[in-house]
A and B are shown apart, each in its own frame.
Chain A
Amino acid sequence: MIPAAFDYKKAGSSEEAVALIVEHGDEAKLLAGGHSLIPMMKLRLAVPSVLVDIAGVEDLSYIDDRGDHIAIGALTKHRSLETSDLLITECPLLAHVASKVGDPQVRHRGTLGGSLAHSDPASDLPAAVLALGASLVAEGPNGQREIAVADFFTGYFESALSDDEMLTEVRVPKAPGASWSYQKFNRRAQDWAIVGVAAVEVQGAAQIALVNMASTPLRAEAVEAALAGGASAAEAAEAAAEGTDAPTDLNASPEYRDHLARVLTKRALEASGIS
Chain B
Amino acid sequence: MELSVTVNGTGRVSEVEPRTLLVYYLRDELGLTGTNVGCDTSSCGACTVHVNGESVKSCTMLAVQADGQEVTTIEGLAPSSEELHPMQESFQNNHGLQCGYCTPGMVMAACSLLDENPAPTEEEVREGLEGNLCRCTGYHNIVKAVLACSGQDAS
Contacts and interface: CB of A to CB of B under 8 A. Distances in A.
Q: How large is the interface on A (under 10, 10 to 19, 20 to 34, 35 or more residues)?
A: 20 to 34
A105 B55 contact: yes
Contacts of A55: 65
Interface stretch (A18-26, A32-40, A59-67): A32-40
B19 A5 contact: yes
Closest 6 CB pairs of A and B: A103-B131, A8-B18, A189-B130, A108-B54, A3-B19, A105-B131
B115 to A, nearest CB: 11
Nearest to B64: A8
B150 to A, nearest CB: 16
Contacts of A105: 42, 45, 48, 55-57, 109, 131
B122 interface: no
A53 B51 CA distance: 17
Given A39-B60, A102-B131, A190-B43, 18 more contacts: A1-B40, A2-B19, A6-B19, A34-B62, A38-B60, A38-B61, A38-B62, A39-B42, A51-B18, A103-B131, A104-B130, A105-B42, A105-B55, A105-B56, A106-B57, A109-B57, A189-B131, A190-B131
Interface residues of B, number: 31
A101 to B, nearest CB: 11
A48 B136 CA distance: 38
Contacts of B99: none
18 contacts: A2-B19, A3-B19, A4-B19, A5-B17, A6-B18, A6-B19, A7-B18, A8-B1, A34-B61, A35-B42, A39-B41, A103-B132, A105-B45, A105-B57, A105-B131, A106-B57, A109-B56, A109-B57
A53 B65 contact: yes
Interface in B76-134: 109, 112-113, 116, 128, 130-132
A145 interface: no
A103 B19 contact: no
B21 interface: yes
B18 to A, nearest CB: 4
Contacts of A79: 54
A162 B75 CA distance: 45
A53 B64 contact: yes
Contacts of A108: 51, 54-56, 112
A51 B45 CA distance: 25
Name the residue among A102, A103, A106 with the largest chain B CB count within 10 angstroms: A103
A1 B23 CA distance: 11
Contacts of B24: 2
Interface string B32-58: 000000001111010010010011110
Contacts of B1: 8
Contacts of A38: 60-62
A44 to B, nearest CB: 12
